[in-house]
C-alpha cells in the first residue's frame, strides 16, 4: 500500500461495511480504507439467486465457524457460516428481505438504544431501498438496494399457502415490511434485474471508482491499535506481510457478530477473565464484549405434494443446466429467485403483542445442501420462534488472530424458547390442514405424524433444528455497564472507535437480519458524519388490538395465558 493514513478505516466489507464505504466517501473529501479478508464476489454462484446454498457452504466465500457442543441441543455442534467476500454475508445469504416488526425497534429504544425506535429508523430503511412497486410512506423508491418478489408467485403452492393462512383465521398482509407485519403474503427478496442485490453490488461497486475510497482484499486484521484510550489504526496481514495503517478520525468495526467482538478481544478490549484466559493484555475492560449473543433457529416441515407442481422435478442435472443457461442469457426464470416467495408472521399465543413465529414457504422438499429430501413432489415450510430468550457468547481463545473464537449460543436454554417451538409444530399442522391445501397436501414427512407430545416434539426439535444464520447482539448498544457501544455506535470508554453491524442490536428482531443491518449502517453513517438524523416517520402501525386475549384475529377472545 502506498499510503498508511486515512480519515476512516472500516474493517469488513459486508452488509454494513459496504454501506459505510459508500456513504462516507460521498463528499469526495474523506479518505476511506475498507479492509476485507475475503476476495471477489464475481462468482456466478454468488450472483445467481437460485444458487444461494453454494457460497454459504464454500470456504472461499464464508468463514465456516462451528459452535461448541450446544448443551440444550443434545451437544450438537452447529454450523455458523459468515461471509468472507466482498458483500460479506449479503453475498452468501438467502436474500430474504425482512425489516422486523415495528415493536422490535421500539424494544431497542426501551433497552437503552435511544433514538433507534421504529419511527426514527423507518426513514433509513426507506433511504436504502428501491421497492419494485414504488415508494410510499413505508417503502423506498430511489435507494441503492433493489427489492422485489422474485417471479411473482407463479407456482400455485405459494398462493395456496397464503389462502391457508386466511382459512386458519390469520390476517393477510399486502406488505409485511409496511404498516402490518402480522399475517400471510408475498415474501420480498434483495434481487435486482435477476441478480443478487448484495451490498457489494448495491453500495460498494458504485463507489469503487471514487478517488477517496481504497478497498484492500485478502487482508486479515490482527488488532485495533490503541494509544491509551484512543483508537489510532489497525494492524493487518496481507500476503504474509504485516502492515499498520492509521486513522485521522475513526476506526469502524463492521466484521459482524462473530468477527467484531473477536477483534475487540484480540485488541485487549473486553471481559478481563476472557482476555486473560487467552493470554491477551487487558487494554480496556468492557465486560459486555462477546456476550448477549442471539440467533434464530428454524426447522423445516415437509409434506409430500399430491400435484406435480413442486420444484422437486426441477432438481435433476438437466433441468438445473437449463435454468442456469437461461439465467446467464436472460437473467430471469427460476434462476432469478431464491424460491421463498410467500411467507407468514404470526403470534404464538394470546398475550404475545407482536409476531414471534416466522414462515418461509418453499414449493419443494429438499435438504439444507440443496438436494432432494425424497423422491417425488413435495413442499416445505421453514418455521422458527424468532424472539428467543436464550443468550450465548463469543470468546477469544488465543492471541493468534487466525484461531477462531469459542462460540456458544445456548440455543433453547430458556423454557420459553422450547415452548415456542412446540407452538411452531402445532400451529403449522393446523395451518396446512386447511381447505386451501387439500388438493396439494400429502403425507407429513417431517416431523412425522407420530410426533405429538411435548416430550416428542422437544426431542425432534433438539435433533432437527438448524440455525437460520442470524447471529447478532454480541456488542450490544445501550447505556448500562454491559453495553458495548452507545446510541451513536461509539465504543464505551474509548475514543475514535465504533462498531457498526448486527452485533450492536440490543435484541434480535422478528425477521431476517440483512435489512436491519443495512439500516443500522445507513443511520450510523449520518451519526459519523455529524449530520442531523432524518426526521422520524410518524406513520401508523397496524396491530391486533385484542392481542392480550386472542392468538389470531379469527378466533374467539379468551383470557391471556
Catalytically active residues, by annotation:
470
Is 95 annotated as ligand-binding?
A: yes
CA angle 265, 24, 40 (to 5 degrees): 70
Q: Which residues on neighbouring strands pair with residue 381, listed in sequence order?
A: 301, 361
- Residue 223 has φ and ψ, to the nearest 5°, of -170, 160
Is 174 annotated as ligand-binding?
A: no
The runs of H, that is alpha helices, within 271-406 are 272-277, 317-330
> What is the rounded (10 degree) CA torsion for 50, 56, 57, 63?
170
- Match 454480541 to its residue by C-alpha cell: 474
First CA to last CA distance, the chain: 62
Is 12 annotated as ligand-binding?
A: yes
Contact predicate 259/12, CB 8 Å: yes
Q: Which residues contact 484 (CB under 8 A, 6 or more apart)?
A: 261, 264, 286, 288, 289, 475, 476, 477, 491, 492, 499, 503, 504
Is 24 annotated as ligand-binding?
A: yes
Is 128 annotated as ligand-binding?
A: no
Is 16 annotated as ligand-binding?
A: yes
Question: Nine-digit cell at 140?
Answer: 423506498
Is 168 annotated as ligand-binding?
A: no
Is 289 annotated as ligand-binding?
A: no
Residue 374 CA to residue 364 CA, distance in Å, equals 10
Is 249 annotated as ligand-binding?
A: no
CB neighbours (10 Å) of residue 193?
A: 11
Is 484 annotated as ligand-binding?
A: no
Is 35 annotated as ligand-binding?
A: yes
Contact predicate 201/86, CB 8 Å: no
Q: Is 261 helix (H, G, I), strand (E, B) or coil?
A: helix
Per this entry, what is the length of the chain? 561
Is 304 annotated as ligand-binding?
A: no
Is 407 annotated as ligand-binding?
A: no
Angstrom distances, CA of residue 409 to CA of 71, 111, 363, 511:
10, 21, 31, 18
Is 34 annotated as ligand-binding?
A: yes
Is 221 annotated as ligand-binding?
A: yes
- Match 426447522 to its residue by C-alpha cell: 299
Residue 374 CA to residue 505 CA, distance in Å, equals 39
* DSSP secondary structure code for residue 335 in this structure: G
Is 96 annotated as ligand-binding?
A: yes
Is 85 annotated as ligand-binding?
A: yes
Residue 378 CA to residue 380 CA, distance in Å, equals 7
Is 150 annotated as ligand-binding?
A: no
Question: Nine-digit cell at 441?
Answer: 397436501
Is 391 annotated as ligand-binding?
A: no
CB neighbours (10 Å) of residue 153?
A: 20
Contact predicate 236/184, CB 8 Å: no
Is 359 annotated as ligand-binding?
A: no
Greatest Cα pair distance, the chain, in angstroms, is 70
Is 204 annotated as ligand-binding?
A: no
Contact predicate 177/101, CB 8 Å: no
- Residue 106 has φ and ψ, to the nearest 5°, of -60, -35
The dihedral region occupied by 228, where left means phi > 0, alpha psi between -120 and 50, and beta the remainder, is left
Is 27 annotated as ligand-binding?
A: yes
Residue 391 CA to residue 154 CA, distance in Å, equals 40
Is 29 annotated as ligand-binding?
A: yes
Is 19 annotated as ligand-binding?
A: yes
Residue 272 CA to residue 266 CA, distance in Å, equals 12
Is 499 annotated as ligand-binding?
A: no
Annotated binding site: 7-36, 85, 93-96, 221
Annotated binding site for FAD: 7-36, 85, 93-96, 221
Amino acid at each position: 500500500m502506498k499510503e498508511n493514513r486515512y480519515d476512516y478505516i472500516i474493517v469488513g466489507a459486508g452488509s454494513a461495511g459496504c454501506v459505510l464505504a459508500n456513504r462516507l466517501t460521498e463528499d469526495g473529501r474523506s479518505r476511506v480504507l475498507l479492509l476485507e479478508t475475503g476476495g471477489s464476489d464475481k462468482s456466478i454462484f454468488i450472483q445467481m439467486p437460485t444458487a444461494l446454498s453454494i457460497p454459504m457452504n464454500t470456504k472461499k466465500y464464508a468463514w465456516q465457524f462451528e459452535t461448541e457442543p450446544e448443551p440444550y441441543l443434545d451437544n450438537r455442534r452447529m454450523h455458523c457460516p459468515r461471509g468472507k467476500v466482498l458483500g460479506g454475508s449479503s453475498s452468501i445469504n438467502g436474500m430474504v428481505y425482512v425489516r422486523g416488526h415495528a415493536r422490535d425497534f421500539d424494544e431497542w429504544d426501551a433497552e437503552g438504544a435511544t433514538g433507534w425506535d421504529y419511527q426514527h429508523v423507518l426513514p433509513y430503511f426507506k433511504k436504502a431501498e428501491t421497492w419494485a412497486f414504488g415508494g410510499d410512506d413505508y417503502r423506498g423508491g430511489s435507494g441503492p438496494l433493489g427489492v422485489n418478489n422474485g417471479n411473482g408467485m407463479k407456482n400455485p403452492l405459494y398462493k395456496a399457502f397464503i389462502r391457508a393462512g386466511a382459512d386458519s383465521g390469520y390476517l393477510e398482509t399486502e406488505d409485511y415490511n409496511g404498516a402490518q407485519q402480522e399475517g400471510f403474503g408475498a415474501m420480498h427478496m434483495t434481487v435486482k434485474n435477476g441478480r443478487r442485490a448484495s451490498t457489494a453490488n448495491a453500495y460498494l461497486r458504485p463507489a469503487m471508482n471514487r478517488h477517496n475510497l481504497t478497498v484492500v482484499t485478502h487482508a486479515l486484521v490482527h488488532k485495533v491499535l490503541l494509544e491509551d484510550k484512543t483508537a489510532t489504526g489497525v494492524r493487518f496481514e496481507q500476503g504474509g506481510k504485516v502492515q499498520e495503517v492509521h486513522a485521522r478520525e475513526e476506526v469502524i468495526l463492521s466484521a459482524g457478530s462473530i468477527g467484531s467482538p473477536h477483534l475487540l478481544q484480540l485488541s485487549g478490549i473486553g471481559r478481563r477473565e476472557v482476555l486473560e484466559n487467552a493470554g491477551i493484555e487487558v487494554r480496556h475492560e468492557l465486560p459486555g464484549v462477546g456476550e448477549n449473543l442471539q440467533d434464530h433457529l428454524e426447522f423445516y416441515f415437509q409434506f409430500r405434494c399430491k400435484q406435480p407442481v413442486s420444484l422437486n422435478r426441477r432438481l435433476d442435472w438437466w433441468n438445473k443446466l437449463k435454468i442456469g443457461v437461461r439465467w446467464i442469457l436472460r437473467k430471469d426464470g427460476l434462476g432469478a429467485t431464491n424460491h421463498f416467495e410467500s411467507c407468514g408472521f404470526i403470534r404464538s399465543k394470546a398475550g404475545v403483542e407482536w409476531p414471534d413465529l416466522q414462515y418461509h414457504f418453499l414449493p419443494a422438499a429438499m435438504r439444507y445442501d440443496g438436494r432432494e429430501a425424497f423422491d417425488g413432489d413435495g413442499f416445505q415450510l421453514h418455521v422458527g420462534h424468532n424472539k428467543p430468550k436464550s443468550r450465548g457468547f463469543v470468546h477469544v481463545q488465543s492471541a493468534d488472530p487466525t484461531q477462531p473464537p469459542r462460540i456458544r449460543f445456548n440455543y433453547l436454554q430458556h423454557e420459553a424458547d422450547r415452548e415456542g417451538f412446540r407452538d411452531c409444530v402445532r400451529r403449522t399442522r393446523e395451518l396446512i390442514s386447511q381447505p386451501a391445501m387439500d388438493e396439494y397436501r400429502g403425507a407429513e414427512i417431517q416431523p412425522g405424524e407420530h410426533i405429538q407430545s411435548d416430550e416428542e416434539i422437544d426431542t425432534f426439535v433438539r435433533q432437527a433444528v438448524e440455525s437460520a444464520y442470524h447471529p447478532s447482539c454480541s456488542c450490544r448498544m445501550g447505556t448500562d455497564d454491559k453495553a458495548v457501544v452507545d446510541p451513536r455506535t461509539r465504543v464505551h470508554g474509548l475514543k475514535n472507535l465504533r462498531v457498526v453491524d448486527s452485533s450492536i442490536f440490543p435484541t434480535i428482531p422478528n425477521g431476517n437480519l440483512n435489512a436491519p443491518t443495512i439500516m443500522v449502517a445507513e443511520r450510523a453513517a449520518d451519526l459519523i458524519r455529524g449530520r442531523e438524523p432524518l426526521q422520524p416517520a410518524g406513520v401508523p402501525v397496524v396491530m391486533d388490538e385484542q392481542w392480550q386475549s386472542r392468538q389470531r384475529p379469527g378466533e374467539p377472545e379468551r383470557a391471556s395465558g
